[in-house]
């Protein structure tokens, strides 16, 4: 419960900071979508926190708190794929290796999901974790791609490498958290949760720094 509260506060702080900076007309839609993604994280964890606080069960059943993670990665994927990717990748053949390297985190996420599938978790948990893994994997592909691809024309992606590294780490930590919950490993879970809180807190300020650098 305290983890859910900590995540809600961390993500809400990022969201409020980002909302004042970017949820306005004539601001980059890319940044607005990342801010909304952070809002999704806050909302999902707020729901989970309130569910626990009001005495509803949340373990072993499907509940909409998980949709916060799915929504967040959907926004992150949309921001990178819909807004930025075409600026750095025009389909040229010599960039093929930069399109293949990003499959590494996707493969890691698939392996983590196989690990969850072998756990004693309920069918509902495995199914929702699988759906979340699809969105985390799709977003992770573009986070990794924008970390490695040479940005020769605009310099937009180069400025956002810090944010992409944090978002990629957050995605991998989300999968780790699901695995640890599935196996009931609570000692490591605390470390993973603290890391997630710290990353969520820094994600928007780092993205903001990148946006300022490219719009300078």
Partner 1 sequence: MEQMIQILFVCIAMPMIPMLLILPDKRSRLILGYMITGAVICLVAGQINTLLLHAFGNDMDYVTTTITPISEELLKAIPILYFALIFSDDRDTLLSISFALGIGFAVLENATILTQYIKSVTISWALARVIGAALMHGACTACVGMGMSYIRKRRKLFYSGTFALLITAIIFHATFNVLVQSEYRAAALILPSMVYIPVVIMTMIRNRKNSTDVHTEEQDI
Residues that bind partner 1 (CB under 8 A): 25, 29, 33, 36-37, 39-40, 43-44, 46-47, 50-51, 53-56, 61-65, 67-68, 70-72, 74-75, 77-78, 81-83
Write down the least CB distance from residue 82 to partner 1, Å: 4
Q: In the complex with partner 1, which residue's Cβ is closer, 36 or 192?
A: 36
Write down the least CB distance from residue 152 to partner 1, Å: 22
Q: In the complex with partner 1, which residue's Cβ is closer, 106 or 213?
A: 106
Write down the least CB distance from residue 114 to partner 1, Å: 25
Helix (H), strand (E), coil (C) string for the chain: CHHHHHHHHHHHHHHHHHHHHHCCCCCCHHHHHHHHHHHHHHHHHHHHHHHHHCCCCCCCCCCCHHHHHHHHHHHHHHHHHHHHHHHHCCCCHHHHHHHHCCHHHHHHHHHHHHHHHCCCCCHHHHHHHHHHHHHHHHHHHHHHHHHHCCCCCCCHHHHCHHHHHHHHHHHHHHHHHHHHHHHCCHHHHHHHHHHHHHHHHHHHHHHHHHHHHHHC
Q: In the complex with partner 1, which residue's Cβ is closer, 17 or 183?
A: 17
Q: In the complex with partner 1, which residue's Cβ is closer, 49 or 163?
A: 49
Write down the least CB distance from residue 3 to partner 1, Å: 18
């Amino acid at each position: 419960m305290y983890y859910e509260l900590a995540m809600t506060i961390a993500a809400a702080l990022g969201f409020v900071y980002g909302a004042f900076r970017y949820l306005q007309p004539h601001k980059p839609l890319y940044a607005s979508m990342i801010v909304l993604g952070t809002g999704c994280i806050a909302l999902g964890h707020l729901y989970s926190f309130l569910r626990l606080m009001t005495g509803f069960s949340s373990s072993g059943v499907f509940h909409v708190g998980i949709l916060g993670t799915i929504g967040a990665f959907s926004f992150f994927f949309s921001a990178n794929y819909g807004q930025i990717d075409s600026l750095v990748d025009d389909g040229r053949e010599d960039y093929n290796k930069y399109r293949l390297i990003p499959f590494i985190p996707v493969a890691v996420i698939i392996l983590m999901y196989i690990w969850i599938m072998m756990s004693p978790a309920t069918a509902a948990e495995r199914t929702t974790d699988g759906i979340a893994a699809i969105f985390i994997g799709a977003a992770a592909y573009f986070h990794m791609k924008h970390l490695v691809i040479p940005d020769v024309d605009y310099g937009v992606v180069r400025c956002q490498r810090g944010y992409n590294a944090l978002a990629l780490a957050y995605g991998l930590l989300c999968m780790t958290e699901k695995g640890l919950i599935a196996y009931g490993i609570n000692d490591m879970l605390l470390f993973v949760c603290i890391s997630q809180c710290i990353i969520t807190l820094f994600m928007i300020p780092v993205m903001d720094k990148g946006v300022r650098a490219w719009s300078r």
